[in-house]
Structures are given as structure tokens and as C-alpha cells.
Amino acid sequence: MAKFKKKKSKTSLFHIFSKDIFIEILSHLSLHDLISLISLNQELYEFLIAPENDKIIYKLFLKNLIFDLTNYKLKESQLDNYSSYRSLLKEFYYQPLIEKKEYDATCYKDYQHCYGPLDITIIEPCEVLKIILDENIYTELSDLQKNNLHKFILLFYYYNINICKGSGLGIYEKNNKLKYIFIGAFLEMLLKQKEIKEIKTYKKKKEDQNKNENKNEIIVKKWDKNEPFPLKQFGEPYFKEEGEKESILVTRRPPYGIRNQQLYDVSITAMMKDLKLENTNDFEVGDFGENITEENCWDNYWRAGLEWWGCYCYTICNFKTKKFIVLTASTTD
């Protein structure tokens, strides 16, 4: 939260405006403008963090954020089950994707025992993204917004850009000025389809007492100059049609064969059920595999598959579980 200098003011804000009018004024500001205002006045700061104002102020900002990102107007009933709307917004900007973990169900272990080649990772999104993963809201996204969301999932999966809560990015926009922002603000820019020229990653490092530094050090890690901006390197995903979704767990036969074909087939059916991928209307699949070539190999993981067997790279938005799934495969003899 921004720091503020205590200022003695003879006139209270609420002697000038009633609280209702003041909230109406705040509703026309962006969340970023609101955060900037917090540092100006202690009374304003206390008003904005007061628990009794959470539903009045931050619920409105949350509705506005969802509308700005998706063009979908949330109903009041769709937001009734949350205890703190300020916390939801903070989570979105600090850590939009909470964690990723390797899939380890028993059926998947059977699949691996049969030499199944797919690597499966489950990604847990923040509550704001879970709201967007409602099928009725997700379908309001434009094709470009969907492309950018799936690229963001892949960026998180391969580069761990926001595993560290509070880490951020340095963004060069059209005006060539470097602006440091949180990961969620970067996702917001992608969904609002803003042009980004260059990206850096950074995270704040705690003060090193041994060095007697007075300020937090900002560590900046720039992408390799010889590599294009990762999102561009991923290419555009191809979104699977209804009839194609059923085969996403079935790859071409591995070069070392399949052990126990019957168990292999049973394990795939069980995985589809466990991952809630049985009904093709419950999820959308972005296919990045065709974009991976010798000239555009953005991770050494793909080198094996590029020899001849092939590369599989799917990002899945699951409307039923409100989670993201990444499926990859790359192997050779």
C-alpha cells in the first residue's frame, strides 16, 4: 500500500462532499488513479481501507474491471459470495496465477507406466480470473483477447514470471518510457490489447544489512537480446474445434511404443473424466504446437520432438473446474 505523509487539514473531505457523492466521484476513476490518491490524504486513506466501505467501493471497482476486460456486466448476485473485494483486486494485480503443479492422479501414473508421452500441469488462477472463466463471460472475449490470455498462461508456465508474489515487469510502451508494473497489470494490458514494445522482469529484494543499503534493490532481468519477445515467439494459438477436442490426450504413437495398450486406453479415459474434459463444451483448447519449429524453438524441451516425432503444446481453459491446464509432449528415440 502506498505511503502517505500526514497532513493537518482544517477541512474534512466529508465537509465538502457527502460520502455518497464522494463515492460517486471515485467510481469514475481508474483503480490506478485511486491508488495514487491514497498517498495524498490520511482521511482518504482511512476511508478507502475501512471494512465497511469494502462492498461499496471495491465491489464497484471489481465490476468495472471485469467489464473493462471482458465487456460483460456482472450481476450483483454473481459477487455476493466474497468477503473482501479489495483482497480480490489485490490478488489479481499481485499474483493472477497462484500456483502450478504437476498432475499426479493414479490414472496418470498408469498412463506414464504405459509410456504415455504427455506432461500435464494444472494452474490455479486467482478469484478474478475464475470469474472470467465462467463460460458466459469467457465467450465475450475477442479472439485477440483469448490469444493473449493463452499466451500469458504459457508465459507463466515456462518462465515462472509470477511465482514470486509481488514480482513485476518493466514495460516499454509506445512512448519508450520504462514503467514498472505488477504482473496482473501486465495481464490487464494484454486483455485491453495495449501495444507493448519490450518487456523486462524484476523483483524487489529485501535490504541487505551487510551492505548497509538504504533502499531496496531492484533486480532487473532482461530477456536475451537474441530472442524475440516471448509472447510473439509463441505465435498465435489455433483453437480446436468441437470435434478435435476429444483427441487432445491422444498423441501419435511414441517412438518407443506403448506398453499395455488396454491399460493405456483406460488411463486416457480416466484422465479425461478426472480432469473434467469429457464434455467438449466445458473447455477451450489453444494449440501452439504447430508454431514450434527449428527456427522458432523457444525452449530446449522441444529439441527432442523436432528431430521427427513432433511437439505438442496445448493450453486449456476449463470452465467447469475454473482452472488452466497445460499439456506438452516432446520426445525422440
| 211-227 pLDDT tens trace | 433 333 333 344 444 44
Average pLDDT over residues 323-327: 97
Mean pLDDT of the chain: 80
- Residue 327 CA to residue 103 CA, distance in Å, equals 10
What is the distance between the alpha carbons of residues 157 and 122, in angstroms, rounded to a whole number?
A: 10
Which is more confidently placed, 125 or 192? 125
Greater confidence (32 vs 330) lies with 330
Task: Provide the pLDDT for residue 271.
Answer: 96
- % of the chain at pLDDT higher than 90: 40
What pLDDT does residue 226 have?
42
Beta-strand ranges (E) seen in 103-197 are 119-125, 168-172, 178-182
The pLDDT of residue 247: 84
State pLDDT tens for residues 244-258. 998 899 888 888 889
- pLDDT value of position 171: 67
Report the alpha-carbon distance of residue 79 to residue 92 in Å, rounded: 15
Q: Identify the pLDDT of residue 262.
A: 94
pLDDT range class, residue 6, cuts 50, 70, 90: very low
Q: Which of 181, 187, 185, 201 is nearest to 153 (CA)?
A: 187
Tell me: pLDDT of 27 over 80: no
Q: pLDDT tens-digit profile of 39-97?
A: 666 777 777 777 777 887 888 888 888 998 898 988 888 888 888 888 899 899 888 99
Question: What is the percent of the chain with per-residue pLDDT over 70, rounded to a whole number?
Answer: 71
pLDDT at residue 116 greater than cutoff 70: yes
**Position 264 pLDDT exceeds 80:** yes
pLDDT score of 300 more than 60: yes
- Amino acid 44: pLDDT: 72
In this prediction, residue 146 carries a pLDDT of 95
Per-residue pLDDT averaged across 239-247, rounded? 89
**More confident: 160 or 118:** 118
CA 53/CA 219 separation, integer angstroms: 36
* Predicted local confidence at residue 256, as pLDDT: 82
Neighbours of 258 (CB within 10 A): 15
Give the list of residues 6+ apart from residue 206 with CB closer than 8 angstroms, or none: 216
- Min mean pLDDT across 21-35, 158-172, 301-315, 319-333 is at 158-172
Compute the distance between CA of residue 72 and CA of residue 65 in angstroms, rounded to an integer. 10
pLDDT reported for residue 1: 45
